[in-house]
A and B are shown apart, each in its own frame.
Chain A
Amino acid sequence: MAIEARTGSGPVTDVAARPNPWRRLVDVWRHRELLLNLVRKELKLKYKNSTLGFLWSLLNPALYLVVFYFVFQIVLGAGLPYFAIFFLAGLLPWNLFSTSLGSSTTSVVGNAGLVKKVWFPREILPLAAIGAALVHFFLQLIVLALALVIFRYPPSAEFCLLLPIALLTLLLFAAALGIGFAALNVYLRDTQHLLELVLLAWFWATPIVYQYTKISDRIGNWVLLNPMTSIVITFQRAIYNRTTYYDTTTKTTVGILPDESIWWYLRNLGIVGGCSLLLLVGALLLFGRLEDNFAEEL
């Protein structure tokens, strides 16, 4: 660090004023190193006391799989071919979303020690929580990829191009909600408990265990009002890569996913992404307002 940077370097900032959302994002970008360190910290603390911890987080989807396979395929006889792959293709992004929301909501309260003692852009806390969830997601994705290789199951090359976009949309959406909830949770500590209930309901309202057509047949495109649906079905379309199957018992062709073009999927993601962006601006404004008293409330 150069010495000449000492006097009067950098812009004069008014630390007493609320920065606008754009400035907040710039501040976050400047502190990206901190973001990485906090992600590392989250991961480390999470698995500090359990050597099996990492393995557990990989086993979690497997356990879900066993349970839902049993209930839906065997007891209820839903009969989707390759149910495991269908299920995991939807569960993994959902897990990313729900862990992101859950842990970012508690992130500011959970890092009270930092918030009360040092300044940094506070949005970094929920973002770091999302970052840690993203690391898990990639690990679980590796497991899924291995499963695909083992079963010699071919995903759709074309639709796989959408995956980065779907992932980005998901992250944007989760960041917008996570930042807002993190701030709310400082003042209303039951936000986190409320959220758990909401996430549970939300999970069942999203076509993960059952296929998209099960609800779209009844309520049509209204299903897409659930932003997670647009995201999850993109993952399913790319990885599971079947839009219908032939039911041998009823001798009919049953729909699984909308048999639409890649543009249709892209459009849905675009809508969710655009709304998330607006939501993010709102969340940053809310966060900035509530942030005034963080250090006192904690």
Chain B
Amino acid sequence: MDPAITVDHVSKRFRLYKEKPESLKERIIRLGRNPYEEFWALRDVSLEVAHGETLGLIGQNGSGKSTLLKCISGILRPTSGSIRKSGRTAALLELGSGFHPDLTGRENVFLNASIIGLTKRDTARIFDDVVAFAELEEFIDLPVKHYSSGMYSRLAFAVAVNVEPELLLIDEVLAVGDEAFQRKCVQRIRQFQSEGRTILLVTHGVETVRQICDRAAVLDHGSLIALGEPGEAVLVFRDALLQREHTDEAAGADWRSHQQVRITGAEVEYLHPDRRHLLPGEPLRIRMTYDAPARVDDVVFAINIHDQQGNLLLGANTDSLGADPGSVEGPGEVVFEFEQVPLMGGIYEVSLGVHTHDGGVEYDHRAGEDVIEALSTGKVAGMVSFPIRAKVDPGS
């Protein structure tokens, strides 16, 4: 039987115009000498996804993961190569997949479902499931512009998984939303797998790949550098990451130059600057510096703290913390302040991100830039130092 998706020698070239001609006048004035740079976001990528398989797609920011997914869904047309697929496709490409801010949640569900190809009757039948899954019963008749980014992504995910697609394309949506919802999504993906549906999943989370994917593919600078068993793919990815970090400085971080907001640094500041570790219950500061070459209006700074096993201990962003930066321009910094951190006995990874309010565009993402090193007091064992006291009542 044919594979569900066949990507055959696909390349995609973008043209980056220095100044983009937008009108007839400009086109005529610049006729023939319109400087642009060519940029290959995908280079000769070939892969197949079998029916019922879950393929994970990993790679650094800018390695072409989203571009590949867009090509597969038909939004972008590859410069060369062919892509064959069969069956109804639901794509969760970037968040809020085509929701219109002025329409209510209900209207958007119907609009979105009809984009995938559902009739009104089909949509009416699954409507309650969608709303229940998204947990938006009270808000469904509100225009979605009043939704938080979490609500937005929940609704998008709920639509995509409830329209019974044969092929599900997911781009990093699991990274947004609260953890309870993330768990629910993973559960749903598992159910999808057991029903024999095909999934192509882009993710930042190396753990996610190990946990839910049958195979994984690694993209680097637009080329496929590994395709196979998830564990192996993750190793290749890590290697590529390390190499990149070396060449990054030298290359003037050129692959990131397109980013509108760049994270330029991340630092964990302990209570005593000379002591590079944390004692349970001490306060902590995480300072992130960024640079926005031009003014950006839609920006959220996010922080995640993971343990070494990849479990999320804490996730927050300037929206959820009620500190919307409004717009940013030029260099600046964001400080996340913890009154007290009850962590102990281990090393915890800090990852930082900058994205739009709806999570649709991620400007930058840094994982493992700095870690929190926590010591134990020796009084209690484990990861979290809950304030604890023992009272012994010597009964008579």
Contacts and interface: CB of A to CB of B under 8 A. Distances in A.
A44 B106 CA distance: 14
B100 interface: yes
Contacts of B115: 31, 34, 114, 118-120
B310 interface: no
Interface residues of B, number: 59
A36 B73 CA distance: 23
Contacts of B386: none
Contacts of B166: 5-7, 9
Contacts of A44: 103, 107
A37 B109 CA distance: 11
Contacts of A214: none
B51 A10 contact: no
Contacts of B73: 15, 118-119
A120 B98 CA distance: 11
Interface residues of A, number: 46
From A11, A12, A15, A189, residue with most partner B Cβ within 10 Å = A15
A188 B23 contact: yes
A164 interface: no
Given A10-B86, A117-B98, A189 B117 contact: no
Contacts of B146: none
Interface string B1-36: 110100000100011000000111101000000000
B100 A41 contact: yes
A13 B111 contact: no
A117 B94 contact: yes
A295 B70 contact: yes
Interface string A189-214: 11100100000000000000000000
B119 interface: yes
Nearest to A291: B77
Interface string A154-191: 00000000000000000000000000000000001111
Contacts of A5: 87-88, 166
A41 B111 CA distance: 9
Contact of B86 (A8, A16, A116): A8
B86 A11 contact: yes
Contacts of B118: 1, 33
B85 interface: yes
Contacts of A37: 110-111, 114
A197 B327 CA distance: 38
Given A6-B195, A8-B86, A194 B74 contact: no
Interface string B75-118: 11110011111111101011011111011000100111011011
A33 B75 contact: no
A218 interface: no
A38 interface: yes
A296 interface: yes
B208 to A, nearest CB: 22
A292 interface: yes
18 contacts: A1-B122, A3-B164, A6-B166, A7-B52, A8-B86, A9-B88, A10-B86, A13-B86, A15-B72, A31-B117, A34-B115, A37-B111, A41-B100, A45-B100, A45-B102, A117-B96, A119-B75, A293-B77
Given A5-B88, A16-B10, A295-B76, 4 more contacts: A6-B195, A7-B4, A8-B51, A18-B77
Interface of B: 1-2, 4, 10, 14-15, 22-25, 27, 51-52, 70-78, 81-89, 91, 93-94, 96-100, 102-103, 107, 110-112, 114-115, 117-120, 122, 163-164, 166, 195-197, 360
Interface of A: 1, 3, 5-18, 30-31, 33-34, 36-38, 40-41, 44-45, 48, 113-120, 188-191, 194, 291-293, 295-296
